[in-house]
Amino acid sequence: MYFGELPVAKAEGAILAHSRRLDGRSLKKGRVLDHEDLEALKAAGIDRVVCARLDDGDIPEDRAADRLAEACRGADVRAGAAFTGRSNLFAEREGVVLYDPVRLDGLNLVDESITLGLVPPFQAVSEGQMIGTLKIIPFAVPDSLVKVAEALASQGEPLVRVKPYSTLDTILIQSKLPGTKESVLDSTLRVTSERLEALGSRLITEARCEHSQNALADAIRRAVAAKPGLILISGASAVVDRRDVIPAAVEQVGGQILHFGMPVDPGNLMLIGRIGSIPVIGMPGCARSPKLNGFDWALQRICAGLEIRPEDIMRMGAGGLLKDVAHRPLPRASAKKTESAGKETSRAGITAIVLAAGQSTRMGAANKLLSLLDGKAMVRRVVETALASTAGRVLVVTGHEPDRIRAALAGLDVAYVHNPNFAGGISTSVRTGISALPEGTEAALVCLGDMPQVSAEVLNRMIAAYDPVEGRAIIVPLHDGRRGNPVLWDSRFFGEMQELEGDRGARMLLDEFADLVCEVEISEAGVHLDIDTPEMLRDAGGTLEEVK
The per-residue pLDDT for range 122-159, each reduced to its tens digit, is 999 998 899 999 999 999 999 999 999 999 999 889 99
| pLDDT value of residue 442 | 95
Q: Is 193 helix (H, G, I), strand (E, B) or coil?
A: helix
By the 10 Å C-beta count (0-12 exposed, 13-18 middle, 19+ buried), 448 is classed as buried
By the 10 Å C-beta count (0-12 exposed, 13-18 middle, 19+ buried), 339 is classed as exposed
pLDDT band at 331 (very low <50, low <70, confident <90, very high): very low
Give the C-alpha separation, 465 to 472, whole Å.
7
The per-residue pLDDT for range 32-55, each reduced to its tens digit, is 999 999 999 999 999 999 999 999
Contact 134, 68 (CB under 8 A): yes
Amino acid at 537: L
| pLDDT value of residue 222 | 98
Find the DSSP H helices in 84-212. 101-108, 143-154, 182-198
Q: For a pLDDT cut of 90, what percent of the chain falls above it?
A: 75
Give the C-alpha separation, 492 to 258, whole Å.
52
Contact 385, 454 (CB under 8 A): yes
pLDDT band at 328 (very low <50, low <70, confident <90, very high): very low
Give pTM, 2 decimals. Answer: 0.74
Give the C-alpha separation, 510 to 318, whole Å.
46
Mean pLDDT of 435-464: 94
Q: Is the pLDDT of residue 332 over 90?
A: no
Q: Is the pLDDT of residue 538 over 90?
A: no
Contact 44, 131 (CB under 8 A): no
Domains and CATH numbers, the chain: 2-48 (no CATH), 58-164 (3.90.1170.30), 169-317 (3.40.980.10), 347-546 (3.90.550.10)
Find the DSSP H helices in 411-486. 426-435, 456-465
**Phi-psi region for residue 348, left (φ > 0), alpha (ψ -120 to 50) or beta?**
alpha
